Amino acid sequence: MALDITAIREQFPILDRTVRGGKPLIYLDSAATTQRPRAVVEAMEQFTFSHNGAVHRGTHQLGEEATDAFEAARATVARLVGAAPDEIVWTSGATAGLNLVANGFKNASLGPKSAAASRFALKPGDEIVVTEAEHHSNLVPWQELAKATGAELRWFGVDDEGRLDLSNLNELINERTKVVAFTHVSNVTAAITPIEQIVAAARRVGATTILDACQSVAHLPLDLPALGVDFAAFSGHKMFGPTGVGVLYGTREALAALPPVNFGGSMVETVTMTDATYLPPPMRFEAGTQMVTAAIGMAAAANWLNNLGFDNLSEYENNLAEELLKVEEIPGITIIGPREAHDRVALVSFVVDGVHPHDVGQVLDDAGIAVRVGQHCAQPIHNRFGVSSSVRASATVYNTVAEISAFREALAQVRPFFGVD
């Protein structure tokens, strides 16, 4: 079934606005944050005006309704990624989810005293494996964990095409490896990681796997239990939902063994003046009042995405990826990452010979085109390609081929505009 893109666009009022003196907005920055359809905002409004109350506390009707809505939202987001509701921990975003796991390792002494939990206790000689393609949110927490425990940080490199180089897989993931943290889709190269190979190697040595699903959850059908990762994190605002909410997925076994990180109300069973016992997951990781309204919005976004259908979405976005890749036909443009439309999402980062990315961004912005410029919170992969920053255009289901053509036409004017040839 072909998607009705006009009808989809109508669900996003912001796409109708003009910018920079009346130019129609062409929004090509969805990898940074997606726009929100009416259904998401309406679900949040409906909850706020009709059911708002403190969840998991008290017995009044509003409290009950709010608790039911909050837990139903958890079940909806769980379904999107093939998980069970108790495998979903609400967080404020992917960054918070990734830090939650890394800090769980730091808190190993506070965790359950089971054999399963001992996997969270790192020591000198242990190894943490990441990739050169990570967003800082899935790199810096592991750097800090390595510093705190004396474990060694190691990483998969990226080949000249921008895909992960797994040629040393069995050397890099070895008996000393305790953690393997990696992205599903690079937010710079758009390349999709061959998860199965990495997970199989990690499982062979009993290492804990953490998947950064930020850039995949809104584009690829995800079945996290089938992928076999122990943990995965993603954000609401990159999947048509609100900011301030995200999810940490963990298998029941992994969450049961993960030490708690934040302490306070809602995560405790009994408390005395000197001690406390903790609730089981997921609530053990949800100290304090949660972002209930945002969770309702994230669930509405999950439903909205599911209703589109991932087959339809992939087919349409592959087409957009091909259109984006045509930027390389413009003289002076070099893409960072794979040039092929397969095993990628509809995102392209590039540099323009002789023009700084910020200047490129400014010329595009003057034409009403919103792209991302800079390092996209991924400095190491820019270093890998010998550039300090890049321009990134990212598209999704509400973008059209005509918009991407207009983007390429504006881009073709950049070097002439600056007198570079």
Ligand X SMILES: Cc1ncc(COP(=O)(O)O)c(C=O)c1O
Q: Which residues are catalytic?
A: 377
Positive or negative: CA dihedral 288, 291, 293, 299: negative
Nearer to ligand X (CB atom), residue 27 or residue 278: 27
Using CB under 6 A as the binding rule, whether residue 396 contacts ligand X is answered as no
Q: Minimal CA–CA distance to 30: which of 376, 380, 420?
A: 376
Using CB under 6 A as the binding rule, whether residue 183 contacts ligand X is answered as yes
Candidate residues 55, 94, 102, 130; the one interacting with ligand X per rule CB under 6 A: 94
The piece of 14-22, 93-101, 276-284, 318-326 that touches ligand X (CB under 6 A) is 93-101
Dihedral in degrees, nearest 10, Cα atoms 389, 397, 34, 261: -90
Min dist CB 133 to ligand X, Å, is 9
The piece of 64-72, 92-100, 364-372, 410-418 that touches ligand X (CB under 6 A) is 92-100
Q: Is 198 helix (H, G, I), strand (E, B) or coil?
A: helix
Positive or negative: CA dihedral 23, 29, 32, 33: positive
Using CB under 6 A as the binding rule, whether residue 372 contacts ligand X is answered as no
Alpha helices in 86-167 (DSSP H): 94-106, 140-149
The piece of 67-75, 91-99, 267-275, 332-340 that touches ligand X (CB under 6 A) is 91-99
Binding residues for ligand X, rule CB under 6 A, total 14
Nearer to ligand X (CB atom), residue 53 or residue 250: 250
Nearer to ligand X (CB atom), residue 191 or residue 363: 191
The piece of 44-52, 132-140, 200-208, 286-294 that touches ligand X (CB under 6 A) is 132-140
Rounded-to-integer distance, Cα 156 and Cα 172, Å: 8
Candidate residues 30, 35, 67, 138; the one interacting with ligand X per rule CB under 6 A: 138
Joined together, the tokens standing for residue 244 give 């301030």
Using CB under 6 A as the binding rule, whether residue 93 contacts ligand X is answered as yes
Q: Which of residues 193-222 bind ligand X (CB under 6 A)?
A: 212, 214-215
Beta-carbon contacts of 416 under 8 Å, excluding residues fewer than 6 positions away, are none
Joined together, the tokens standing for residue 132 give 């050169």
Using CB under 6 A as the binding rule, whether residue 95 contacts ligand X is answered as yes
Angle of helix 292-308 relative to helix 38-50, nearest 10 degrees, comes to 140
Helix (H) or strand (E) holding 63: helix 61-80
Where along the sequence are the contacts to ligand X (CB under 6 A)? 93-95, 135, 137-138, 183, 187, 212, 214-215, 235, 237, 377
